[in-house]
């Protein structure tokens, strides 16, 4: 996954701002084939969303269908698609929970930012392939003005 520094900072700021609850949001961009012919996700825009989980927001999240549809419409108006979601983990590792694995959509990336004592402590991204399971993918943060 490729993401610009500013978008990466928005995710970090959102995670810290929602502490002690998990933050969540959607990522818009596009997918392309890299030199090895593998699919690579490029994140262009971040859409912070409301965690609508009724209880247990300290260790779970839910994005409403209506907010998802709104973000999808806005992304398409910019020529982009929703390429995945992000959320935070509070004082636990940046590893997908069983609920996370169920939430992940085929072809989408899931970025997880772990906070320890309110400080970002690790970031991972996971890609559910259209065929062939759920795998960790590298994250490349692009500095401003590049890519
Ligand atoms: Zn999670």
Q: How far is the CA of 123 from the centre of ligand 1 (A)?
A: 12
Q: How far is the CA of 97 from the centre of ligand 1 (A)?
A: 5
pLDDT digit string, tens, across residues 82-119 = 999 999 999 999 999 999 988 888 889 999 999 999 99
Alpha-carbon distances, residue 107 vs 66, 77, 144 (angstroms) = 21, 20, 27
Contact (CB, 8 A) for 5 and 145: no
Helix (H) or strand (E) holding 7: helix 5-18
3-state secondary structure (DSSP) of residue 68:
helix
Domains of the chain by range and CATH?
2-142 (3.40.140.10)
Q: How far is the CA of 36 from the centre of ligand 1 (A)?
A: 30
Is 0.85 topped by the overall pTM?
Answer: yes
Residue (of 50, 43, 87) closest to 70 by Cα position: 50
């Amino acid at each position: 996954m490729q993401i610009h520094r500013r978008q990466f900072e928005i995710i970090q700021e959102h995670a810290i701002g929602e502490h002690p609850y998990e933050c969540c949001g959607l990522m818009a961009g596009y997918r392309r084939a890299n030199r090895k012919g593998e699919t690579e996700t490029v994140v262009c825009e971040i859409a912070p969303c409301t965690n609508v989980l009724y209880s247990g927001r300290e260790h779970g999240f839910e994005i409403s269908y209506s907010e998802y549809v709104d973000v999808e419409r806005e992304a398409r108006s910019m020529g982009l698609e929703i390429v995945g979601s992000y959320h935070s983990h509070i004082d636990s590792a940046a590893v997908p929970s069983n609920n996370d694995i169920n939430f992940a959509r085929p072809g989408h990336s899931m970025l997880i930012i772990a906070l320890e004592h309110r400080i970002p402590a690790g970031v991972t991204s996971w890609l559910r392939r259209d065929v062939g399971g759920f795998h960790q993918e590298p994250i490349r943060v692009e500095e401003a003005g590049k890519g």
